[in-house]
Amino acid sequence: MIKVVNDFKDYEIIDATLGMKYERWNNVYLLRPDPLVIWNNENFKTLKLDAIYHRSNKGGGFWENKNNITTWTIDYQDLKFNLKLMGFKHTGLFPEQAINWTYLREKVKKANRKLKALNLFAYTGGATIALLKEGVSVVHVDSSRGMIEWAKENVKLNHLENQSVRFLVDDVKKFVKREIRRGNKYDIIIMDPPSYGKGANGEVWSLEKDLFDLLDLCQSLLSDTPICLMVNSYSGLSPVILEDILKLTNKNQKGKIEAYEIGLKIKENALILPCGITGLIEYE
């Protein structure tokens, strides 16, 4: 199963061919690599182009910034985000995650009570902003100080400075273990772990070696009346494998478990481009 974003007015994939996708981010037009675009579209063309990301044969790559783009803003419904041209082709936002922001907001509204959320590997704060909009108290954890500062910018952009949010530069696994010892509990836990990374003090993270243990630990952080536990992955992990891991680590055996692809529609031909997977335990 794949869930597709259909209501992101400020973002669209216009077309795609031979490992590249042509996108509109509000009024900024980008051409970026995507390894899943393995077809040749002979009618592909770019009408306007502000920046192109070129891959290097030695790894990584660089932006060819044609119009001196620095930062700009994009909206999704009533959410706002600051974007920048980052290293390794990114902009600071994954538009396909709008599917999950909407899901989280709807679950919070349905619960109709004060909730506390933990956002791990929280990046620039897409899920954090969505939850703060609904009055949820959020603890936002990432090992990158730069990403934490960017998330703070997004909070200010959305005028949410007065909402209950804590930003922590920390290694996720160490933080979770400390929270267990402190006896802290959360109604919602979200994580977006990378395939490989390093913590705030150089701690090594490997998805294959560490994801199972982290999900197992997080079960001890759930409140007595949790809403959901959500895991996002861009590592090429199979939805079936992610669902299996959730089943094995779901200690109380409660809740509905599912895993699904998330994707975006290509405007010119209505094809669906898969962009990652989400695993979910829905408790209520």
pLDDT band at 264 (very low <50, low <70, confident <90, very high): very high
What pLDDT shows up at residue 34? 95
CATH number for the domain formed by residue range(s) 95-282: 3.40.50.150
Measuring CA to CA, how many Å separate 87 from each of 32, 55, 84, 199?
12, 11, 10, 19
What pLDDT shows up at residue 202? 79
Same fold, 2-84 and 95-282: no
Is the per-residue pLDDT at 212 higher than 80?
yes
The span from the CA of 56 to the CA of 165, in Å, is: 39
What pLDDT shows up at residue 23? 98
Q: How many CA atoms lie within 13 A of 243 on its CB side?
A: 11
Give the predicted TM-score (pTM) of the model: 0.94
What pLDDT shows up at residue 163? 94
Amino acid at 51: A
Q: In this prediction, what percent of the chain has a pLDDT beyond 90? A: 87
pLDDT tens digit sequence for 23-76: 999 999 999 999 999 999 999 999 899 999 998 887 789 999 999 998 999 999
Q: In this prediction, what percent of the chain has a pLDDT beyond 70? A: 100
CATH number for the domain formed by residue range(s) 2-84: 2.60.40.1180
Give residue limits of the domains in the chain: 2-84, 95-282
The token pair that represents 233 in the structure block: 């992955």
Strand, coil or helix: 29: strand
pLDDT tens digit sequence for 107-164: 999 998 999 999 999 999 999 999 999 999 999 999 999 999 999 999 999 999 999 9
